[in-house]
Amino acid sequence: MVERSDTPAPEQKIEGPAFGVDGRDALIGGFAAAGGYFFWGLTVIFYKQLIHVLPYEVLAHRTIWSVVLTLALILVFGRWKSLVAALTNTRILLTLFATSLIIGSNWFVFIYSINESRVLETSLGYYINPLISVLIGVVVLSEKLTRAQIAAVALAAAGVGVITFEIGTLPWISLFLAVTFAIYGYLRKVSRVDPLEGLLIEVLMLSPFALAYLWIAEGEGGTAIMHGDLWTLFLLALTGPMTTIPLFLFNYGAQRIRLATLGLMQYFAPSIQLLIAVTMYGEQLTDTHLMTFGLIWAGLALFSWDTWRKEKELRRVAKAV
């Protein structure tokens, strides 16, 4: 939704005002979650200001400044005990090492797509993502799909097929972002580590690679942080807050609103990216794009309806118990 590449998949549980969260808290949570998704959508504009910096260098700074900010937040919120607990758990560390590589590659492709003026492909990828997550549930967890979910996945596959046939190649940026984020979300969910602590450990694991790149790049021709203007340096430092703030808003909201509501909100970010790509950056929305997006939107509408229907039934059963 991020972009949404650092959003952990929400737990599949029933939440909302009827289950221990009062109306005011749920309202604040809704605004927080929506703010997080809008923030992720608008990050396209932010990273567009850094297209004069190589994507690898932007990624390196995003990693390093995220370490600085998440460490500060851990200190402010007194989360050292949970951080130490995660750092001393071998299974969690191995899982987070895998997720760090996955999210790092996701961040890079996202930054690259903006540099190359391919924001439409980014938007398409994050629309597809929820349906890829459904497929992971089938493959990894042997979950059974409902008829509505099967139809939704089929519509999305048809959409990808249309654009692949038209352009003669797979929309690799869209598929890469969707698949990596879906795998990331699944692994973060099973890791059972808090979002802030998990993000800190991930960026700490990536930071040696980031520092090594900056060291080598400086020796081979210079980096923006050593030779750039003050505005560029300021923007590079902001990559940390641009990563951490929407994650904080999302997780605050996710704990206070219903799963179905959160599921609908996840489409805010790619919708904003789509509007920005067309209205601000002049990317062409062709008939092929319209057909592709139309099929995927139809699939997502069906998927969202099915999610809402199942949650409504679960809530009815829970109240009857």
6 in a domain, yes or no? no
308 pLDDT more than 70 = yes
Which pLDDT does position 24 carry in this prediction?
78
Q: CA 210, CA 49: separation in Å to the nearest integer? A: 21
Which pLDDT does position 282 carry in this prediction?
92
11 pLDDT more than 80 = no
SS3 label, residue 166: helix
Mean of pLDDT values over 243-263: 79
Q: CA 124, CA 69: separation in Å to the nearest integer? A: 30
Q: Which value, to the nearest 10 degrees, does the dihedral of the CA atoms of residues 248, 224, 126, 94 take?
A: -60
| 103-125 residue pLDDT tens | 999 999 999 999 999 999 999 99
The larger pLDDT score, comparing residue 57 to residue 167, is at: 57
Q: Which among 252, 37, 66 is positioned nearest to 129, based on CA atoms?
A: 37
12 in a domain, yes or no? no
226 pLDDT more than 80 = no
Which pLDDT does position 321 carry in this prediction?
64
R_g of the chain, CA atoms, integer Å: 20
Q: CA 79, CA 101: separation in Å to the nearest integer? A: 24
190 pLDDT more than 80 = yes
Highest mean pLDDT among 54-68, 117-131, 248-262: 54-68
Mean of pLDDT values over 174-190: 91
Alpha helices in the chain (DSSP H): 23-48, 55-76, 80-87, 90-115, 119-141, 147-167, 172-191, 195-220, 224-227, 230-254, 259-265, 268-279, 287-320
Average pLDDT over the chain, rounded to an integer:
86
What global pTM score does this model have? 0.84
252 in a domain, yes or no? yes
- What one-letter code names the amino acid at 155? L
The larger pLDDT score, comparing residue 26 to residue 290, is at: 290
For residues 44 and 273, is the Cβ–Cβ distance under 8 A? Answer: yes
242 pLDDT more than 90 = yes
111 in a domain, yes or no? yes
Domain with 254 in it? 17-320
200 in a domain, yes or no? yes
The larger pLDDT score, comparing residue 29 to residue 213, is at: 213
123 in a domain, yes or no? yes
Which pLDDT does position 21 carry in this prediction?
52
Give the count of domains, the chain.
Answer: 1
| 123-156 residue pLDDT tens | 999 888 888 888 888 888 787 888 888 898 899 8
11 in a domain, yes or no? no
Per-residue confidence band for 94, with pLDDT thresholds at 50, 70 and 90: very high
7 in a domain, yes or no? no
- The values of phi and psi at residue 166, to 5°, are -70, -45
